[in-house]
Amino acid sequence: MKIKAPLIIEITFLVIAFLIYFITGNDFYIYNFVYIGTALAIGIGLLVNGYKYGRNIVMFGIGCYLLIFLGIIGHENMLISGFWYYLFLGVFEAAVIHFLVAKIAGPLLFGRGWCGYACWTAMILDLLPYKAPKNPRKNYGYIRYVLFIIIFTFILGLFLFKIPNLEIIMYYTFILGNIVYYVLGISLAFIFKDNRAFCKYVCPIAVFLKISSYYSLLRVTVDEDKCVNCNMCLKNCPMDVDMLNNSRKRVNGTECILCGECIRNCSVNALDM
């Protein structure tokens, strides 16, 4: 466990870095994905070796890079609105590559690792006081699909009505979108006493993630022979995942963010990644 997961992450991102470089001819993607892959591997390595805040460090390292350097300074809209924008432009770069790697194809290998180690919204939400949910989960997941459709329709409308100055509009959409995400995410965390309420009910990216994460290669599994059914893993899971069931159909199985809280709180080492 202590080297398997970090090694998978590092090799995967090295392959991705050079593959996209050969496709685009842009050496930026080598530096970009090697940095992200190495940061992720270090974070997971620290976590499985007992360093409690390893994941938070990596989230800030990657999250600030994407939010501040690429987004605010580089004027790249890295939100889902930017994905649709570049996709409609027919440009294979920026948010299109980001979404393909982190949120569409990548989760086939590492599930929702993006949510646990790179999301710049969650990097703030995870600092709030409700790390383990205090209340039962609500049936509000439909909100993410409504928001997904609204964003898609908004970007499609910009193209259909040939709105000018799209680059400027997309930049301010990125800024405003992030402000809304932070305000909404923090508010929901306190309302539901759950840091990850925004992720469970609102985040539109989950529409992509839930599909591919079902088949994820990197998963948390339980050794039933070791498990003593203390349920500490269930009580401490921020995403309400049933870690005592190895089936891919386990409750909220597609929402595991590989945070390792279940592993860290298992006193008999029955869980592995």
pLDDT tens series, the chain, 273 aa: 466 778 877 888 899 899 989 988 889 999 998 999 898 888 777 876 777 788 898 999 999 999 999 999 999 999 999 999 999 999 887 899 999 989 999 899 888 988 999 999 999 999 999 998 988 899 999 999 999 999 999 999 999 999 999 999 999 999 999 999 999 999 999 999 999 999 999 999 999 999 999 999 888 999 998 999 999 999 999 999 999 999 999 989 999 998 888 988 898 989 887
| In 25-89, alpha helices (H) | 28-48, 54-64, 80-89
User: Residue 272's beta-bridge partner residues?
Assistant: 221
Length of the chain: 273
Q: Indicate the pTM of the whole model.
A: 0.90
CB atoms within 10 A of CB 36: 25
Domain boundaries of the chain, sorted by first residue: 4-139+157-213
Average pLDDT, the chain: 91
How confident is the model at residue 272, as a pLDDT?
85
C-alpha distances in angstroms, 167 versus 72, 75, 81, 85, 90? 13, 9, 12, 9, 14
C-alpha distances in angstroms, 5 versus 56, 197, 258, 260? 17, 27, 10, 11
How confident is the model at residue 2, as a pLDDT?
62
CB atoms within 10 A of CB 57: 16
Residue 98 in tokens: 């980001």
Residue 239 in tokens: 């995403």
How does pLDDT run across 191-222, given as a tens digit for each residue?
999 999 999 999 999 999 999 999 998 889 99
Residue 78 in tokens: 């890295």
Residue 253 in tokens: 């199985």
How confident is the model at residue 37, as a pLDDT?
87
**Apex 112 CA angle, 181 and 109, nearest 5:** 150
Integer Cα distance of 125 and 129 in angstroms: 9
Integer Cα distance of 130 and 187 in angstroms: 12
